[in-house]
Amino acid sequence: MIRRRNGLLAAFCAVLLALAGCGGSKDYPSRPITIVVPWGAGGGTDAIARMIASLMERDLGQPINVVNRTGGNGVIGHQAVASAPPDGYTLGFITTEIAMLHWQGLTPLTPDDFTPIALMNFDPAGVQVRADSKYATLQDLLDDIRKRPGRIKATGCGQGCIWHVSFFGLLADKKIDPGSVAWVPSNGAAPGLLDLVAGGVEVVPCSLPEARSLIEAGKVRSLAIMDAKRAPLFPDVPTLQEAVASGWTLGAWRGVAGPKGMPQPIVDRLAASLKKVYEAREYRDFMASRGFGLLWGDARQFAEHMKQSNAAMGRTMTVVGIINR
C-alpha cells in the first residue's frame, strides 16, 4: 500500500513539474531556453533561428541559446526536440523535413509528435549552378541531364529532404527520370554550396537567400525559382514557368515548436512572443535584406499547415520514387 502510494505521489509530482515548467507557468520562463536547429550553422534555418532568438530574449527576459544538432537528414535535431521535457525550455526551429522523413522510413517522427507554436517563414526552392557553369539557362541543364543520365551530381541537404525532393520533382514534372541525377547528401545548403563552388557537384537546389552571398560574390548563379512569381530581391531570376514552362512549385517552411504535450499557458506565452518577433521591424528588415519569405501561422494554423504539408509530401515523394515505409 505504501509502495503504491509513493508511486502515485511520484507520478503526481512529475505531472506537476511538467505543468509548472519547473517554476510555474506564471513564472515562465525562469531560466534560459534552448532552440534546437536541425541543420548546420550558416544556412538559412540557422540564420533565421538566431534572429528570432535574439528578439525573443528581449521580450522573455531570459537568454535563448541556439544549438545546431545536425545529422540523419534532420532526424537528430528533430528527435532532440521531440524527446525533450515538454516544459518550454527546449524548443525547436523545425522544418519541412518533419513532414518528409517518416515517408522514407528514417524515423517514426511526424508533425503529430510536436506542439506547434508559430509558423515563421516560407522560401521556394531555386536551382543554383557555378557562375562559370556551361549552363546558361535551366533548359540547358535539363537538356544535358537528358543527354548524360547519371553524370550530373546535385546536393544541398540530406537524401530525401526538401531541396532533394523539389529538384527531383521538377525532373519528374518535365518527364525526366529523377534517377538521371546523382544526389550527394550534405548537412544543409551552406556546405552544399561550398561543394558546388569547389567543383564537387554541378547543381544545388536550395532557397535563393541561402545562396545570396555566393551569388553576390559572383561565384554562384541561379537559373530559376520554383514559385509562381519572381523574388523581389532577385528580380532577374525567372520562375520555372518562364524558364521551362513548368508550373511546378515547392519550397521550405520553418516554424517554432516544442515537444508534444506542452502546457497551454506556456504555449500561449511563447506564441505571443513570437507574434511580436514576426511583427517587429528588425525581423522584417532582416528577412527582406536576406530575401527570406514571411509567412505567419498561429499554433492552430501551423498545425493545419503541417498536416497539409505532410499529405502533399507523401504524394510528391511517391511520384519521385523515394517512399520507403
The string of DSSP codes covering 91-150 is EEEEEGGGGTGGGGTS-S--GGGEEEEEEEEEEEEEEEEETT-S--SHHHHHHHHHHSTT
Where is pLDDT greater, at 6 or 157?
Answer: 157
Where is pLDDT greater, at 170 or 44?
Answer: 170
264 in helix, strand or coil? helix
Average pLDDT over residues 105-110: 95
Where is pLDDT greater, at 187 or 130?
Answer: 130
Q: Rg of the chain's alpha carbons, rounded to an integer?
A: 21
Average pLDDT over residues 90-108: 94
Report the pLDDT value the prediction gives residue 320, as an integer from 0 to 100.
Answer: 82
Read off the pLDDT of residues 15-38 as tens digits, 9 standing for 90 and up. Answer: 444 444 444 567 899 999 999 999
How many other C-beta atoms can be found within 10 angstroms of the C-beta atom of residue 32? 12
Average pLDDT over residues 3-17: 44
Average pLDDT over residues 203-222: 95
Beta bridge partners of 90: 34
Q: Is the pLDDT of residue 134 over 80?
A: yes
Beta bridge partners of 222: 128
In terms of DSSP bridges, do strands 90-95 and 33-37 run parallel, antiparallel, or are they unpaired? parallel
Which residues are within 8 A (CB) of 124 and not within 5 positions of it... i.e. 6 or more apart? 207, 225, 226, 227, 231, 249, 250, 251, 293
Give residue 325's pLDDT band: very low, low, confident or very high (50, 70, 90).
low
Average pLDDT over residues 88-99: 96
Q: Is the pLDDT of residue 51 over 90?
A: yes
Query: Do the beta carbons of residue 160 and residue 73 sit within 8 Å?
Result: yes
Report the pLDDT value the prediction gives residue 323, as an integer from 0 to 100.
Answer: 79
**Placement of cell 521531440 in the chain:** 82
Report the pLDDT value the prediction gives residue 319, as an integer from 0 to 100.
Answer: 83
State the DSSP H helix or E strand holding residue 33, giving kind and residue range, or none if neither.
Answer: strand 33-37
Record the pTM: 0.79
> What whole-number distance in Å separates Cα of residue 295 and Cα of residue 201?
32
How many other C-beta atoms can be found within 10 angstroms of the C-beta atom of residue 244? 21
Q: Which of 62-66, 73-77, 289-293, 315-319 has the highest mean pLDDT?
A: 62-66
Average pLDDT over residues 112-136: 97
Q: Which residues of 272-311 are buried (b: 16+ CB within 10 A; e: fewer)?
A: ebbeebbebeebeebbeebbbbebbbebeebbebbeebbe
- In this structure, what C-alpha cell is assigned to residue 213? 552571398
Q: Is the pLDDT of residue 10 over 50?
A: no
> What whole-number distance in Å separates Cα of residue 210 and Cα of residue 202?
17
φ, ψ at 14 (rounded to 5°): -65, -40
Q: Is the pLDDT of residue 12 over 80?
A: no
First to last CA, the chain: 46
Read off the pLDDT of residues 271-316 as tens digits, 9 standing for 90 and up. Answer: 999 999 999 999 999 999 888 999 999 999 999 999 999 998 998 8
Q: Is the pLDDT of residue 3 over 70?
A: no
Average pLDDT over residues 214-239: 95
